Structures are given as structure tokens and as C-alpha cells.
Structure 1
Amino acid sequence: MFLENLGIDADDPIRRGRFWEAALGTTALTVEPDIYETRLDLDGDAYLDLCFARVPEHPTSPLRLHLDLRGGERQLEVAERLRGLGARDLDIGQGEVPWIVLGDVEGAALCVMEEREEYTDTGPLAALPLDVADPQREGDFWAWLTGWVETSGQAPRTLRHPSRRGPLLSLYPEPEPKRPGAKNPIHLDIRLEAGDDVEAITAEIAERGGRELHPGWGELPWRIYQDPSGNEFCLLPAPGAAS
């Protein structure tokens, strides 16, 4: 199994998907009114898809996972280009920080980051900061789940694709616990591979402090879980396999 998707709730998947496609230089895979998928190549066959799905109501839950874009020496230029694509400056109480906070075309916060050594070879998407209750525990959980490996970073735990290319998964202490019933507007999806035993994986998720969810959303081709901090993720079936 491997980390395949960023699942992003959207009012208008095409508008929001095209913004991020232009921002990151990704390649469109699916363009439909209710879903827009675009692919960020990491290294060779490795990739990360951004999947924008229409939701009936505008997401209002706090962002526990967001996107940090690489700015570096071109930070001001990158931020200005994003403004030209429809982003707006955003004050989330960040105060004086070396990064620039913007809202995307649907108002969700993103950051354009300053130069950092750990962003070498990330490409345009520098990091995926995730709020968790216990970075050490969740670092072990997500390393097992994704196959990503430990790397240096400013977060208490930082993971990265084994190729050492692409964004960092940065695990930070949550400012507040996950609100019961509040779905994360951005979440991670794990793709199963041929031979993976979904029931064994489900059992190990529980052993590691996560749990399977049954939200009553009808029959879906994937299964929904939470990590030990309550962050949702999906297990997507292996290609050609039933859920």
C-alpha cells in the first residue's frame, strides 16, 4: 500500500482543481462537474494525486492538513503568481512569520514558504503539515501506513517518500483536539496493492490506535478510517479488486 491521494472537499471541483493545477504544474486526470483529479509526479513512477470532490456544503471545519508551497528565493514571485490565479492574502492570526499565508480560490489557507534546506527536491509542493495529538505515535502510524521514511524537518516528526523527492509529511502537535463529527476538509488516501489483505490491515490500524468509520454514506468502493488523532483517511482498493 502507498500514499496516493490528497482528498480535497470543494464547492466547485473544476474551479478549485484548475487553481491548484496551475499553482503546482500538475497534469489533469479527470475533469467532471463533481470531481477533478490532477497528478503531481514525484519521481519516476511515484506520484501524488489531488482529488477535488464536490460536497453539499462549504467546508467549515478547521484545517488540520494544509498545503505548503515552495517559495524560497522566489517566495514573493510565487505568492504574486498565486494572487494572479485567484488567491487572496489571509490573516489567520499568524503574526510575524517568514512564510506568506494566502487563501486559495475557496478561501482555504495555504502557505508560501521561505527557503529551507529540507525543501531540497520537493518540487512545487514543499510540505503537508498535519495536526496530530502525538507526533511520535502518529509518526510511526503514518510511516507504516504510507511506506514513507523519516527525514529531517522542523516538525517533531517528518516523513518523506523513499525516493527523497516530493513533499514532506510534517506532523505537528494539534492546537486543539479533533472536533467530534467534524470531517477534515483535506485528507489523505492510501491505495492498496495486489496481495494486500484489507482485513489484516484494518486489524493493525486498530492495534495502532486508529479505527474504521461507518458514516452511512452509502455503498462506496473504498473504506474510511481515522488515525489515532481522529484524522480521516481512506483505503482505496487495489486496481482491479473489489472493495
Structure 2
Amino acid sequence: MSTRLVQINMKAQDDSALGRFWSQALGWGMDSEGPGVTNLEPVGFAYPDPTAVCIDIIARPEPKTVKNRVRLDLATTSPAHRAELVARLKDLGATLADVGQGDVPWTVMADPEGNEFCVLEPRPLYRDTGPIAAVVVDCADPREMARFWDGAMDWTLHEVTDDFAGMRSAQGVGPYLEFVRTPDTKSVWNRVHLDVRPYPGADVAAEEARLRALGATDPGIDQSTISWTILADPEGNEFCLLTPA
């Protein structure tokens, strides 16, 4: 059996307000399954589907204190589109951000709660991804992260180097998942993390055991009140193993 990436989990002090920002930024629908939980997905989307990686925004009181290790890269189709998108995002409450990127052809921004994201210059690779070009994970060893996540999911690995690894759904649709070498080290729990889900009929206990055999570990978080399983990848990034669907 295997899993696939179905959503990004993002913590927020105000999930509704941050949900409105990202809903308008992406042109997606916004819903809620209960207090403190805001769900975002494309309008008319039939979850789960590889054409999109959805976003769940969960209320947490703790403020953001360090640069996120997981971020979104947004796709654009032309220089004019990129300029228009950056201007529109500023109007929605985003700000320009400096994470030491220097002179680059893309624009680094932060959402209203300080979560970093990038508006990319037009790239042919992302012409059919939808508004999210890629989910990007900072890491120390892209090769090791590619090994783990290639085994964890049924996504297709497209490129692996010492500095970068990229993969996409087995159907060749939706955003990419990318691992980029950075000098930073993980110091706190991730406010943005990956959620993976097994296919219908899968044995969750067996899937957890398989992920642990690949190198997943227990992050030491109390899980007594939840119905899913929280694990950590080989670099300590938390992720959730959801129930099959």
C-alpha cells in the first residue's frame, strides 16, 4: 500500500482571517468543519483528488517565531500576471519578505500571519499545476528526503540532486513537492506541515509500521485525543497520517 499528499496543515492565531486571505489569494472555496478549523479547496473539488493539495488552517494561540520550513510557491503565467498577482496579494494583506534571498527573479512574500511564500516568475514546469506551483520543504539533505518520501508515497520522483529534489502525483497533475537544501536547522515544531492519506481499504497500523521502517519517528506529541497519527520524517518535520479515503 502507499499514501499520497492530500493537504497542507497550517497553524494560525486567527484561522478564519487567514483562511479568507488564502481563499482570495488562490481563488478557492472556504469552509469549516468546526470552531478553529478552516478548510480551503478549489470550488467544485471532489476531495481527495491529485489535481490539488488542499489547505487546512487550524487555530493555535502560539505566535510564529521563526522562518517556516514548509511554504507554498505560487505559479504565474507571464510577467504581467506575476506583477498583477503580487499587487493583489499586497491589497489582501501580504507583505514583501526578506529571508536572505538576495537578487532573485521571484518575489518572496509573507501572509498576514507572517508565513513566507513565493510568487514565482513564469516557468514552463508549472504551467499546469493550478495556482500552487509547489509545496517546498527546507532540508539539510534533499537526497535523503527524496528517498523517504518516494517510499512513503506513490508520487513520482522527477529530479534528485545534492541541493534539490522534486516529485509530483503519480497522475502527473497538481502541484509539485520539492525539497531544497538550506543552511537553517529545525528548532521548533513546524507551523506548516504535510498531511498524507492512505487509499481506501488500507490498514493504518500497517501503513504506520511501513513509514517507520522507512525512517519515520515519533515526534513526542500527545496523541491521546486525536484519530490520526502524527509522525516525523528523517529530518524531524512533523506530518500527519490520516485515515484512509
TM-score by length of 2: 0.88
Shift of 1:221: 1.0
Is 1:170 aligned with 2:166?
Answer: no
Is 1:14 aligned with 2:16?
Answer: yes
Q: What is the DSSP-based 3-state SS (H/G/I as helix, E as strand, rest coil) of the residue aligned with 2:53?
A: strand
Shift of 1:80: 0.5
Is 1:106 aligned with 2:113?
Answer: yes
Shift of 1:42: 9.6
| Alignment match, 2:142 | 135
Equivalent-residue separation in structure 2 for 1:152 and 1:25 (angstroms): 30
- The residue type paired with residue 168 of structure 1 is Y
Deviations 1:166-193 (A, max 9, x none): 21111111322322xx110100001133
Equivalent-residue separation in structure 1 for 2:170 and 2:105 (angstroms): 28
| Alignment match, 1:69 | 74
Q: What is the DSSP-based 3-state SS (H/G/I as helix, E as strand, rest coil) of the residue aligned with 1:229?
A: coil
| Alignment match, 1:145 | 152
Q: 1:72, 1:113 within 8 Å by CA — same for their partners in 2? A: no
| Alignment match, 2:27 | 25
Equivalent-residue separation in structure 2 for 1:146 and 1:59 (angstroms): 29
- Matches of residues 29-48 of structure 1 in structure 2 within 5 Å? 29-30=31-32, 32-40=34-42, 41=45, 45-46=49-50, 47-48=52-53
Deviations 1:65-119 (A, max 9, x none): 1011112411111100111111111222221110111111112111110121211
Equivalent-residue separation in structure 1 for 2:164 and 2:196 (angstroms): 23
- The residue type paired with residue 151 of structure 2 is W
Is 1:4 aligned with 2:11?
Answer: no
* Gap regions ≥5 residues in structure 2: none
Shift of 1:218: 4.0
| Alignment match, 1:231 | 237
- The residue type paired with residue 236 of structure 2 is G
Is 1:125 aligned with 2:132?
Answer: yes
Q: Which moved more, 1:26-35 or 1:128-137?
A: 26-35
Q: Which moved more, 1:137-146 or 1:46-55?
A: 137-146
Q: What is the DSSP-based 3-state SS (H/G/I as helix, E as strand, rest coil) of the residue aligned with 2:109?
A: strand
Equivalent-residue separation in structure 2 for 1:202 and 1:236 (angstroms): 10
* Gap regions ≥5 residues in structure 1: none
Of 54, 57, 60 in structure 1, the residue corresponding to residue 62 of structure 2 is: 57
Q: Which moved more, 1:149-158 or 1:212-221?
A: 149-158
Shift of 1:59: 2.3
Q: Which moved more, 1:92-101 or 1:25-34?
A: 25-34
Deviations 1:125-166 (A, max 9, x none): 111111123211211221232321123599621001122222
Equivalent-residue separation in structure 2 for 1:232 and 1:128 (angstroms): 15
Shift of 1:199: 2.5
Of 145, 169, 191 in structure 2, the residue corresponding to residue 161 of structure 1 is: 169
Q: 1:61, 1:183 within 8 Å by CA — same for their partners in 2? A: no
How many equivalent residue pairs?
A: 237
Question: Residues 42 and 113 from structure 1, CA distance in 2 versus in 1: closer, same or farther, beyond 3 angstroms?
Answer: farther
| Alignment match, 2:211 | 205
Equivalent-residue separation in structure 1 for 2:195 and 2:114 (angstroms): 23
Equivalent-residue separation in structure 1 for 2:49 and 2:90 (angstroms): 32
Equivalent-residue separation in structure 1 for 2:180 and 2:190 (angstroms): 16
| Alignment match, 1:91 | 98
Identity across matched positions, percent: 35
Equivalent-residue separation in structure 2 for 1:58 and 1:136 (angstroms): 32
CA RMSD of aligned residues (A): 2.3
Equivalent-residue separation in structure 2 for 1:115 and 1:103 (angstroms): 20
